[in-house]
Structures are given as structure tokens and as C-alpha cells.
């Protein structure tokens, strides 16, 4: 692992307990019954602990949607052809995708990153419409061997982390997003490898495959794990053997956010696969991750439980792109407002509850 990555990982610290305590004390005194706004107050306490501030900055929001292709599509695990990855990147750029609509609702900018698509996106990158952090033209087929080399896995993490540092100058809250046909298959393999659950439990219908196709997809995940034997204690080994370029980039983004002590909202299944990788590399990084929602993918709940994360929303989402993260950004705004804008009993001259 490169020295610079080692240094960044060593620089990640857990939330500050003193700032959490200050926030908790104030939240207890607000003009409402004790903890009456429930998990929004929990989130407010988290934001104070993350940012070391009683006025957590949350106004500047950036959703980073990372794109990558996967050799495992050759096994017939997706309902859509691989070219859709390339087509959807163009859709992001023209503003016609789900993430564009929802990002506009919450005032977030969308940054699209080519981590390793099979198609040619050079023109979009050269024109500044997307960022290129390419590792290669898609991963290898995990059902037949490793997705990538360990060196490439490190590059994925480093490029995602460095991107967070670049964007951090103009970002208070990060959101993660993905685009990559076939990427629920490596995400299922990552979920099974790291949490220890069975491939059957970790694998869902992805793009909407039928029951026969799902059985085949489970067998592909089983084969990938048997062929590659990833080490669940080594996130780089898991990423290299059964991961994806965009999944590694997402993991790096989350590590970078943690290094900067900024919250990062974890979208759905693929983003949580990246979060699992990041957590194995730096357990403290998980302190800066906010689980946006519970995906319809069957393995997502298992991943969240492993990370001890309770999602903010449960809306039956399964799109990816960062859409769930965008929706959760309003709740982050709300939590910060509770901490900073609601008066205490003393400030408002309101009588407290009887002892």
C-alpha cells in the first residue's frame, strides 16, 4: 500500500466524544419532550461528533456518481447490455437521470466519475463534463479469476480518496453513487465475503431478473468466491478479487470524507459494498457514514447490520446512482437545524416538565 494512503488511513479518527456530549446536552434541553424528534436528534448528535462543531456545516452538498464496468456480465447476470453503462453516463451529463432530478430537489451538485467503463468517455472527460479516474476498461470476470490486481485495487482507493480531498474544499456533505451494469454481482460477493452470509442471502434480483436467472446469479457469486477465496479481513484483497473499479472508488471517497471529518451519505447496495471495503481498511471511517436507505436488494439489510447502521429511509428503492443519498440529504439538513435553530427551555422562557 502506498505511503500516502497509509498516512491518510492513519489520519482518520472516530467521532469526537466531547462534541457529541455537548450536542447531547443541548438536545436534551430543547423545547419539546425528551428526544421527541427521535432519530433526527441522534443524527444531530452524530453531525456534531463528526464535524467537531455545534453548528455543523451541511449547506454544500456533492453527490459523486462513479461508473465502472464488469467482466462478469459475460455470465448473463444482468437484464441489460453492458453498453447501458456508457449510455447512462451520457444521460447523467445531459441531466435526464433519476439522480439529476433528485439532486436538484436538495440543491446538490452531481459529479460523474469514470472509474473504468468499457466504453470511450474521453470526449466527455476532455470537455470537463465528467472526471476521469480510469483504472482500465472494466474489470475481469470474477467467476473465472480476480477482478483486478491488488495494485489496481490500491489505485481505486487512492483515486477515490484524493477526489474527496479535491472536492472537500467546496463540499460539506458527500453522497455516494454508482453506475455499472452487472455491479450487483460483485457487490453480492463482497457482502458474502465480508459479512459471512451465504451467497444466496447476499444476492438479489438487481436489474429485475426472474427466478431462474436469480438462481444462476447466485451460482455465479458462489463460483466467484470459490475461485478467488477473498480474505474477509483484508478489504484490498476482497476488492481485488471480487470487486469493481467504481466500488473501490466509492470506498476511497468514504475514506477521504472521514479523513476530512465530513459526513458521507451511503446510498444503496453498491455504495454499501464500498462502505464495507472502507470499514475493513479503517474501522473509524464508519463513524462518518450515514446510511441513506434500505435497498430492495436482499443482501443490503445484512450489510447494514454488519456495519451496525440503521438506514434513514425505507422506500423500496433499488436504482443506485446516489438517489437514496440525495433523498436523505434533506434529513441531514433537518438534523442540523434541530441542533442550531430550536431554542432550549431557558432560551425560550418555557417551563420544563414537572420532576
Report if residue 353 sits inside a domain.
Answer: no
Instruction: Give pLDDT, residue 54.
Output: 98
| Residue-number span of the structural domain to which 236 is assigned | 61-334
Residue-wise pLDDT tens digits, 59-105:
999 999 999 999 999 999 999 999 999 999 999 999 999 999 999 99
What is the pLDDT, as a whole number, of residue 1? 47
CATH of the domain at 11: 1.10.1610.10
Same domain, 93 and 33: no
How crowded is the C-beta side of 246, counted as CA atoms within 13 Å? 35
Query: Is position 272 within any domain?
Result: yes
Asked if 187 and 74 count as a contact pair (C-beta separation under 8 A), the reply is no
pLDDT, tens digit, for every residue of 225-262? 999 999 999 999 999 999 999 999 999 999 999 999 99
Nearest CA-CA partner of 182 in 140, 222, 149, 121: 140
Confidence bin at 354 (pLDDT 50/70/90): confident
Predicted confidence band at 284 (pLDDT cuts at 50, 70, 90)? very high
179 in Cβ contact with 67 (< 8 Å): yes
Domain co-membership, 314 together with 236? yes
The Cα–Cα gap between 299 and 201 comes to: 6
Could you tell me whether strands 264-266 and 289-291 are parallel, antiparallel, or unpaired per DSSP bridges? parallel
Please answer whether residues 89 and 130 qualify as being in contact, where contact means their C-beta atoms are separated by less than 8 angstroms.
Answer: yes
Note whether 43 and 66 are same-domain residues. Answer: no
Dihedrals phi, psi of 174, to nearest 5 degrees: -95, 150
Please report whether residue 11 resides in a domain: yes
Same domain, 171 and 197: yes
**pLDDT greater than 90 at residue 355:** no
Residues 327 and 343 in one domain: no
Residue 297 neighbours by CB under 8 Å, 6+ apart: 184, 187, 204, 205, 206, 268, 269, 318
pLDDT for 300: 98
Q: Looking at the structure, tell me whether residues 82 and 132 fall in a common domain.
A: yes
pLDDT class of 207 with cuts at 50, 70, 90 = confident
Alpha carbons 152 and 172: distance in angstroms, whole number: 29
Q: How does pLDDT run across 210-220, given as a tens digit for each residue?
A: 999 999 999 99
At 30 the three-state DSSP class reads strand
pLDDT tens per residue, range 131-176:
999 999 999 999 999 999 999 999 999 999 999 999 999 999 999 9
Q: What are phi and psi of 114, to 5 degrees?
A: -85, 105
- 355 within a domain of the structure (yes/no): no
Phi/psi at 352 (nearest 5 deg)?
Answer: -80, 170
What local confidence, expressed as pLDDT, does residue 2 receive? 45
Percent of the chain exceeding pLDDT 70 equals: 99
Q: Which residue in this structure is represented by grid cell 462502505?
A: 275
Same domain? 31 vs 122: no
pTM, to two decimals: 0.97
Model pLDDT for residues 339-352, shown as the tens digit of each residue? 999 999 999 999 99
Is 267 in the same domain as 125? yes
- Write out the catalytic residue numbers: 321
354: in domain = no
Q: What are phi and psi of 107, to 5 degrees?
A: 70, 30
Is residue 36 situated within a structural domain? yes
The answer on 12 and 113 residing in a single domain is: no
46, 19 in Cβ contact below 8 A? no
Q: How far apart are CA 194 and CA 82, in angstroms?
A: 27
Q: Are residues 171 and 47 in the same domain?
A: no
pLDDT of residue 3: 56
Q: pLDDT (tens digit, 9 = 90+) per residue, 110-120?
A: 999 999 999 99
Q: Are residues 196 and 318 in the same domain?
A: yes
- Does residue 116 share a domain with residue 50? no
DSSP single-letter state for residue 290: E
Provide the number of structural domains found in the chain: 2
Looking up residue 93, the CATH number of its domain turns out to be 3.40.50.10210
Amino acid at each position: 500500500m502506498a505511503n500516502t494512503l497509509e498516512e491518510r488511513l492513519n489520519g482518520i479518527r472516530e467521532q469526537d466524544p466531547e462534541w457529541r456530549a455537548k450536542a447531547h446536552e443541548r438536545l436534551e434541553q430543547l423545547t419539546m419532550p425528551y428526544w421527541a424528534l427521535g432519530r433526527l436528534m441522534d443524527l444531530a448528535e452524530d453531525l456534531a461528533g463528526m464535524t467537531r462543531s455545534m453548528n455543523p456545516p451541511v449547506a454544500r452538498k456533492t453527490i459523486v456518481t462513479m461508473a465502472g464496468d464488469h467482466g462478469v456480465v459475460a455470465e448473463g447476470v444482468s437484464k441489460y447490455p453492458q453498453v447501458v453503462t456508457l449510455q447512462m453516463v451520457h444521460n447523467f451529463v445531459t441531466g435526464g437521470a433519476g439522480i439529476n432530478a433528485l439532486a436538484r430537489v436538495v440543491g446538490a451538485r452531481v459529479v460523474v466519475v469514470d472509474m473504468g467503463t468499457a466504453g470511450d468517455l474521453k470526449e466527455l472527460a476532455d470537455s470537463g463534463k465528467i472526471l476521469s479516474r480510469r483504472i482500465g476498461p472494466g474489470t475481469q470476470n470474477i467467476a473465472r479469476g480476480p477482478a483486478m490486481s491488488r495494485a489496481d485495487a490500491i489505485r481505486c482507493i487512492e483515486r477515490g480518496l484524493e477526489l474527496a480531498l479535491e472536492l472537500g474544499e467546496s463540499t460539506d456533505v458527500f453522497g455516494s453513487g454508482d453506475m455499472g451494469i452487472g455491479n450487483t454481482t460483485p457487490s453480492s460477493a463482497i457482502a458474502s465475503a465480508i459479512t459471512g452470509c451465504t451467497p444466496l442471502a447476499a444476492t438479489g434480483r438487481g436489474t429485475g431478473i426472474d427466478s431462474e436467472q436469480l438462481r444462476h446469479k447466485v451460482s455465479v457469486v458462489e463460483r466467484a468466491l470459490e475461485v478467488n477465496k477473498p480474505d474477509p479481513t483484508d478489504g484490498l484483497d476482497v476488492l481485488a478479487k471480487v470487486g469493481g473499479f467504481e466500488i473501490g472508488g466509492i470506498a476511497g471517497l468514504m475514506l477521504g470524507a472521514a479523513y476530512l471529518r465530513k459526513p458521507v451519505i451511503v446510498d444503496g447496495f453498491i455504495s454499501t459494498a464500498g462502505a464495507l471495503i472502507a470499514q475493513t481498511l479503517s474501522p473509524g471511517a464508519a463513524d462518518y457514514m450515514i446510511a441513506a436507505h434500505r435497498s430492495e436488494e436482499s443482501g443490503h439489510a445484512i450489510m447494514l447490520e454488519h456495519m451496525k447502521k440503521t438506514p434513514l429511509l425505507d422506500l423500496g428503492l433499488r436504482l443506485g446512482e446516489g438517489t437514496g443519498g440525495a433523498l436523505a440529504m434533506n434529513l441531514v439538513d433537518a438534523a442540523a437545524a434541530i441542533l442550531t435553530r430550536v431554542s432550549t427551555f431557558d432560551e425560550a422562557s418555557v417551563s420544563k416538565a414537572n420532576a
